[in-house]
Each structure stands twice: as C-alpha cells, then as structure tokens.
Amino acid sequence: MKNPDIPGVVLPSASPLLSRSGWAAFLLALIAVCILAPVMNLVFPSDSPFHMSDYAVALVGKIMCYAICALAMDLVWGIAGVLSLGHGLFFALGGYVMGMYLMRQIGRDGNYHSDLPDFMVFLDWKVLPWHWALSDSFIATIILVIAVPGMLAFLFGFFAFRSRIKGVYFSIITQAMTFAAMLLFFRNETGFGGNNGFTDFKRLLGMPIATQPMRMTLFVLTGLVLLGFFLLARWLVSTKFGRVLQAIRDAESRVMFCGYPTLSYKLAIWTLSAMMCGVAGALYVPQVGIINPSEMSPANSIEIAIWTAVGGRGTLIGPIAGAFAVNGAKSWLTVVAPSIWLYFLGLLFVIVTLYMPGGIAGLLRKFSGGRQ
C-alpha cells in the first residue's frame, strides 16, 4: 500500500483481524459457549458423563470474567507498556454498581422486610444515600457499570500521564489508589455494606437469580462479552491507534518527537481498559453472589498482572489462556493442597519471568515454528 503523503514509500498492508485458523478457533469457542455448554448443563442428566455441573458453570463463568480483566490488562500493559497494579479497583467498582442494583431487586424479601437493604436497616439508616438514587434502574446500572470505572480512570490517568509519571512509579500509585479505595469501602458510613459488602441476591430483572437457566444465561453472556472484547482488542491493535500505542511502549520519546500526543493515546487505552474491567466485575457479581471490599485488595490487581504475564503479554489471546490456566490450577490446588497455593503462584511467576518471557503464547509459538 502506497503512502499518498510520501511518494515512493510503500506501507505494509493491513493485517486481517484473524487468520483462517484464528477464525476457526473463534467459531469453536463461540459454539462451545452458546451451544455446547448449555446443552451439557441443561439437557444431559446429572448422572451422564457429558453433564456439565452447576459448579463447573459457575467456575468457568467466573474465570471468563477474570479473562476479560487479563485482556484489559494486556491492552494497557502488553500493548501500551503501562503496568497497572490497580485494575482490581475498576473490576470491583463495576461489581459494586451491579451489586447495588441486585440489592434493590431484593425488595421486601430481606430479613427485615424493608425497602432498604438489610445492612442499612441494621445500621438504623432511614433513607437511601444519594449515590443509590439510580440503583433501581437496570438501564442506569448498565451505563454506570461502564461510566464509573471510566470516569475514575480518566481523571486519574489524565493527571498521572500529564505529570509524566511512568514505570514503577505509576504502578505504585495505582496500587496505592486501590488500597485507599479498599479502606474507604470497608467503612460502614459509606453505604456500601462495610466489610460484608453485598450478598444474598435474589432476582435479576425480576427473575430468580439462583435458577439453572439464569446461571446459564449469565454464563453465555459472559462468554459472548469476552469474545466480543477479544475481537475489539484485535481490531484496535491492527489500526493506526494500536501501532502508535506499540510505538509508545517501545520508544515514547521518539513518538513524541514525531508529533503524536502520547498523553491522549495512553489515556484512551487506559480508560477503555478500566471500562472493560468494570463490565467484567458486573458480570462476576451475579454469578458468584457476593461483592465486598476484598475484591479491591492490591493482591487481586497483582494477580491480574500475573495472568497476563503467564499467558504472554502483548498477544491478547495469551492473557486469556493465562487467566484460565492460573485460576484453573488455583481451583484445583486450593482443594488438594491449599497451604501451597501461594507458593505455587510465586514460583510460577518466577519461572515465567526467567525462562518463559513470552508466556504460554510464546511457548506455543516456539513449538509451532514461529507461526502466529
């Protein structure tokens, strides 16, 4: 493809969104999420070897939410080179917004048979706080799930990037932001349930939330969102916007000298990444049935970075695989050998850093002869 601005200069042609094998794998994932899993869970009886248990549905659904966070982290860290240790905050904020709606859906079916959530009645609150004003509207909830993490990320990122904070210093202040928010949400007077958070959900859109069809609906929706975000990320990386982000990652000063507003590029991908985590949190809460301030723990944000590193940052598909691999191992080890889980996680991160810098995706590429 010729550059119209510079005669004689030939630019590389745009790469396809996915290769033929990539589209085949995407289609298989789509079939597994939309057809195979529902049939195995809803059609096959529980004594069938092909039956997918409700526990497996909840576990895979939860891991798919984590995979969305890992994909969001890869956009901002693997593609743009900005390591965040605060993405757990955006995940939790999306979860809290959805949790507020689910608490309002309980209505008078709570222990105190009040229009207020049980924890507010227990604390002798008489009216809902101002920030609960739109919590009874599903449409407003969907908007706020995206807007609240997005606005916080935009404001934080604007001042941080404008101040040229980068590298380990940026990572530290994102971790500090997450820790400060966790301490804030632990306080009862904030109106977010204190250390217990929100739980005992009963309905979603007026329908019982604990039924098998509803759980499968949430599972399918989570899978579709994950696949949709993956295609969005692939498209972004293949555009000029994505190429500029990769150039910023490799040599930000040179990109600035070329006249590109690096602050705007980093702020855009940082904000988008936060909104993706907010959506993941909103999908996570109705599936696990609880949200509390521990989701904002700095350790959770570090785990997101570990999933990305283990899978292979900068590859998009790698972090998704990393989220499944690490959390699958976690679910197994916490049952078989719960005392060694954290040691295993630390050892895994050390091994990946020293011997597998490309992560799972890099290892697979090596064995496949370098093919993407």
Asked if the model's pLDDT at residue 370 lies above 60, the reply is no
Does 257 reside within a domain? yes
Q: Would you state the pLDDT for residue 221?
A: 97
Q: Would you state the pLDDT for residue 334?
A: 81
Q: Which helix (H) or strand (E) holds 199?
A: strand 198-199
Does 14 reside within a domain? no
Total number of domains in the chain:
1
Does 73 reside within a domain? yes
Q: What is the CA radius of gyration of the chain?
A: 22
Does 349 reside within a domain? no
Asked if the model's pLDDT at residue 106 lies above 60, the reply is yes
Asked if the model's pLDDT at residue 27 lies above 90, the reply is yes
Distance CA(40)–CA(33), nearest Å, equals: 11
Does 60 reside within a domain? yes
Distance of CA 39 to the CA centre of its chain: 27
Q: Name the band, by pLDDT with cuts 50, 70 and 90, for residue 341.
A: confident
Q: Would you state the pLDDT for residue 12?
A: 57
Residues 6+ apart with CB under 8 A from 298: 85, 86, 88, 175, 178, 179, 182
Q: Say what percent of the chain tops pLDDT 90.
A: 63
The domain of 148 spans 52-296
Does 102 reside within a domain? yes
- DSSP-derived 3-state class of residue 367: helix
- Taking residue 11's Cβ as centre, other Cβ atoms within 10 Å add up to 10
Distance CA(27)–CA(290), nearest Å, equals: 32
Does 269 reside within a domain? yes
Q: Would you state the pLDDT for residue 14?
A: 62
Work out the average pLDDT over 137-162. Answer: 95
Does 105 reside within a domain? yes
Q: Would you state the pLDDT for residue 18?
A: 84
Q: Would you state the pLDDT for residue 324?
A: 94
Q: What is the DSSP letter of 110?
A: S
Supply the mean pLDDT for the chain. Answer: 89
Work out the average pLDDT over 160-183. Answer: 93
Looking up tokens 């995206």, which residue turns up? 146
